[in-house]
Amino acid sequence: MVFAREGFGRSTVEQVCEQAGFTRGAFYSNFTSLDELFLAIWEQRSDEMQSDLAAFLTQEPPPVSSLREAVEHVLSAVPLDDEWYRVTAEFTAHALRNPALRRVMARREERIEAGLMPTLEALLARVGRRVVDPAALGPALVACHDGTSVQCLIEPDNVAVRQRRTDLFVLLVTAHTVEAGSATDTAPQETP
């Protein structure tokens, strides 16, 4: 992917076409600008990943026996794809400057949450836990995923980073759930 290698701003129509195996003539008869192509690619791939995630999660009910295992199973469906995260970082930077793309990013998050939460809740139910506030847990998971993904890719050789990533997810899920029988239905407990 040219955008991952060069950065979006430095990519040229020529480079993209060369790698894709067609010419600039072909490009300009299908798109009007690189921006448009970038958006199209990102949306398509983003949709694919969400479909993959959803498919993976719903496919076979795994025999999880603890909350951590449930989290690990979900995380295993979200690979740390180096190239793809570079493209996403480019897209994020681009979106922060472009209202139209901002909406695309917002939709992406909504769809991730929509695809993730039901399965996650089902998995957690199996280990006897109930999510208290899905509307808070979803965004928190996405934010932590994005934040820790960058950390993992910035220090690819630091295994502790990846370990902490998992721990953080477990922590989040733990704090946002209660034992299934519990009557508590408020926001995550703050002990002090």
Partner DNA sequence: TGTATCCGATACAACTCTGTATCGGAAGGG
Partner DNA sequence: CCCTTCCGATACAGAGTTGTATCGGATACA
Report how far apart, in Å, the C-alpha atoms of 178 and of each of 71, 72, 111, 171 are.
Answer: 15, 19, 25, 13
The Cα–Cα gap between 120 and 58 comes to 10
> 129 pairs with which residues across the strands?
179
Q: Is 28 in the site for DNA (CB under 7 A)?
A: yes
Q: According to CB under 7 A, which one of 30, 44, 151, 163 is a site residue for DNA?
A: 30
The Cα–Cα gap between 139 and 40 comes to 24
Tokens coding 82: 């180096």
Q: According to CB under 8 A, which one of 134, 146, 162, 166 is a site residue for a copy of itself?
A: 146
The residues in 93-122 that bind a copy of itself, with binding defined as CB under 8 A, are 93-97, 102, 105-106, 109
* Rama region for 188: left / alpha / beta (φ>0; ψ in -120 to 50; rest): beta
Using the minimum distance from each CB to DNA, give the nearer residue, 37 or 173.
37
> Residue 107: which of DNA, a copy of itself, none does it interact with, CB under 5 to 8 A by kind?
none
Quote the least distance from Cβ 170 to a copy of itself, whole Å. Answer: 6
Helix (H) / strand (E) containing 129: strand 129-131
**Which positions lie near a copy of itself, rule CB under 8 A?**
4-11, 66-68, 82, 85-86, 89-90, 92-97, 102, 105-106, 109, 127-129, 136, 139-140, 142-148, 150-151, 153-155, 161, 164-165, 167-168, 170-172, 174-175, 179, 187-188, 190-192
